[in-house]
């Protein structure tokens, strides 16, 4: 089976911080039951795998349709996390990083909207996902935020996985945010990744990619070696990488070096 050994954790970490770092209302009554019925209905009618996540308690309930059987997925009904890692392990690492960036973009949009308008928007994407035999299949992934609590925090999320209505296996991630009420489409925002590093951090990381040591980078950029080392440490922390070389690979995979360095903040 395909192993997701090169997954970039930086977008997931940023999304996790955004979702679980919200100020939840402490005394909100339980509201899960009607949404469990919604998730179960999606699973039955679309033969989808539905993941209903309570962001406040950091728990999820899973509902399995024919998609789970066909893909050979673990049919656990509950997990103590809002992240369905057993499913993520099957998704192409580039698509998974891009999917998390799209979710982060949706989160930023919804937090600017009144709670009553948030349910109009959802993500819709096509990802490459490995079946039990390790063969990639085209899979449609959708995310809905179903409810906000009394403090305005996004409270319940529903993720759906089903076979994409196409035999075409995409060469790269395809994703949008859509307003279900109007049909309006917002394309995935590559600048989410491009804004992750500052201009100077990008210059340092590009120099690392050329094989330059910190002292050589310092001479090129006209800064001290100590400053270069500090930039390298900041880069590794932002990208959750164990080395500058790993950070370079991660940055390239999510497009964090794509923008012109002159356009990024210093």
pTM, two decimal places: 0.73
Q: Which of 259, 192, 203, 204 is nearest to 10 (CA)?
A: 192
Q: Is the pLDDT of residue 44 over 80?
A: yes
All domains in the chain, ordered by first residue: 10-187 (3.30.450.20), 192-263 (1.10.10.10)
3 state SS of 13 = helix
Q: Is the pLDDT of residue 10 over 60?
A: yes
Burial string for 124-141 (b: 16+ CB within 10 Å, else e) reads bbbbbbbbeeeebbbbbb
What is the rounded distance in angstroms from the CA atom of residue 207 to the CA atom of residue 152? 44
pLDDT score recorded for residue 189: 66
Q: Tokens at residue 94, please?
A: 């580039």
pLDDT score recorded for residue 172: 80
pLDDT score recorded for residue 251: 76
**201-238 confidence digits (pLDDT tens):** 999 999 999 999 999 999 999 999 999 999 999 888 77
């Amino acid at each position: 089976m395909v192993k997701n050994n090169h997954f970039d954790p930086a977008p997931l970490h940023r999304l996790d911080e955004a979702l679980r770092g919200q100020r939840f209302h402490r005394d909100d009554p339980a509201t899960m039951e009607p949404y469990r019925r919604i998730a179960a209905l999606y699973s039955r009618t679309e033969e989808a795998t539905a993941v209903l996540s309570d962001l406040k308690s950091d728990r999820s309930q899973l509902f399995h349709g024919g998609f789970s059987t066909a893909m050979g997925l673990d049919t656990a009904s509950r997990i103590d996390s809002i992240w369905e890692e057993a499913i993520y392990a099957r998704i192409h690492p580039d698509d998974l990083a891009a999917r998390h960036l799209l979710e982060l973009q949706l989160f930023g949009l919804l937090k600017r909207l009144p709670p009553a308008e948030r349910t109009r928007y959802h993500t819709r994407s096509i990802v490459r996902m490995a079946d039990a035999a390790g063969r990639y299949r085209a899979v449609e992934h959708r995310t809905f935020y179903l409810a906000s609590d009394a403090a305005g925090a996004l409270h319940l999320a529903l993720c759906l996985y089903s076979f994409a209505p196409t035999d075409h296996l995409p060469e790269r991630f395809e994703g949008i945010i859509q307003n279900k009420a109007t049909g309006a489409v917002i394309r995935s925002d590559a600048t989410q990744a491009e804004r992750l590093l500052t201009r100077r951090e990008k210059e340092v990381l590009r120099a690392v990619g050329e094989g330059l040591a910190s002292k050589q980078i310092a001479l090129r950029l006209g800064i001290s070696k100590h400053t270069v080392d500090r930039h390298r440490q900041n880069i590794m922390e932002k990208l959750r990488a164990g080395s500058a070389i790993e950070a370079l690979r991660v940055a390239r995979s999510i497009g964090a070096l794509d923008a012109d360095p002159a356009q990024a903040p210093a």
